[in-house]
Amino acid sequence: MHRLKFYIDGSWVDPLEPKPLPVINPATEEAIADINLGSAADVDRAAKAARRAFATYSETSVEERLRYLERIIAGFKLHLPELARTMTLEMGSPITFSTERQATVALFHFEEAARVLEKFEFEERWPTGIVRHEPIGVCGLITPWNWPLNQVASKVAPAIAAGCTVVLKPSEIAPLSSMLLADIIHSSGLPAGVFNLVNGDGPTVGEAIASHPEIDMVSFTGSTSAGIKVAKLAADGVKRVAQELGGKSANIILPNADIRKSVIAGVHACNTNAGQNCQSPTRMLVHRSHRDEAFDAARVAIDSIRLGDPLDPATTMGPLVSQAQADRVQRYIQLGVDEGATLVAGGPGRPAELNHGYYVRPTVFGDVTSDMTIAREEIFGPVLAIMSYDTEEEAIAIANDTSFGLAGFVQSADPVRARKVANRIRAGRVYFNGAPFDRSLPFGGYKQSGNGREFGLHGFMEYLEVKALVGFPE
């Protein structure tokens, strides 16, 4: 595939300063496509197109925007198998997971944006005036490679539903599914300039988006270090910045829980998407008396994971996205060994049965303490740290002993007790007993896991300004 153009002002155009880059299939280590990396000049062209389009698109009716969303949803459904397969090829997600989760949840964000838009009250009458909600303007959207369409849709859908225009930079590592989405959006008839896509890397295109004077708001998903850079660049323009950053989520298994069931579920949750999830429950906290039982259950869970060709429907874990990511995870696994954690399952090195691809053995460490690197830093791979506690107070303290605060997990047979624990976890989401990842509820972090919220009503409102009309009659 040769996808060398950018989508700007309603058509596919050549970059102003072409810089070719291959897209690598992480399962085969071979190039499957070529794209171009963009420049600040390309961002300028896209931002100006978005600014022109905003003047009229921001005035469209709710009914008009709903019609565009309905056409995008219909096109997405029609092309869902192709979108899923593309994500499998570009970032290694197993085809079953790509179909049932990666593509399907991305579709949900467009459906949810339409649901919120249909019911949202853009004007509220107060006793002394009117509170009005208006689209914030041109939005720069910077997204990662681990959920390539989910993160794109979670930003694009509410932005265009709210009446904003956008400049999207998908990850240059996994850009192909976003380019297919651009084709779907083009076919929907969305006016030229409302949606624009420029491929590129963070230091060039990402930074140009964050600092561009025509962009009013930046929504960024990625690492905490990159998020800090984006926020600093956006500060000069006093832009609104919404960020979903790193995580080191704790999974507290209380003593009255079904230990074996909870541990097995926790191991699989940690290894979902090959562990490349910002909210993965990568720190499992078990009562010290359940240490051995937890280790045994973790081994059972790891043994049930099937690594292999991500195009094989039976595969449950594919490769990591790149050689750099695989090397990073291997370094952390070796650090776990070197710092004295107990290796419960997995370990360093490529899986013996696979002689190519960026595969890593799903790994579990036990007897991990809070001062160990694998307990403090986000690994972003299939590595679980099991930590022991003696009291509930200690478990809560360990869970909160992190610079992150994206998610938390509590397992218990007593919902009342679990709720008391959940209320004290400093994180933007807390899941009880394996509850599914609800995309209508707000998602976002405390502390260095970011600010702002995505999904549902709260995600929609990130793209709105609030205006008070004082003294006006109805």
Give the active site residues.
244, 278
Long-range CB pairs of 93-96, under 8 A, 24+ apart, other chains included: 93/273, 93/274, 93/310, 93/318, 94/310, 94/312, 94/313, 94/315, 94/316, 94/317, 94/318, 95/310, 95/311, 95/312, 95/313, 95/315, 96/313, 96/315, 96/316
Q: By C-alpha distance, which of 65, 93, 301 is closest to 188?
A: 65
- Contact predicate 167/140, CB 8 Å: yes
Element (H, E) at 231: helix 224-235
Q: Give the integer Cα–Cα distance in Å for 427 and 313.
A: 35
Q: Which two tokens stand for residue 454?
A: 């995505």
The strands making up 217-221's β-sheet, listed across from edge to edge, are 11-13, 6-8, 195-197, 165-169, 138-142, 217-221, 240-244, 450-451
∠276-280-281 over CA atoms, to 5°? 145
Measured CA to CA in angstroms, residue 252 lies from 263, 287, 425 at distances of 10, 9, 10
Backbone angles phi, psi at 439, to 5 degrees: -95, 10
CA 458, 463, 468, 473 torsion-angle sign:
negative
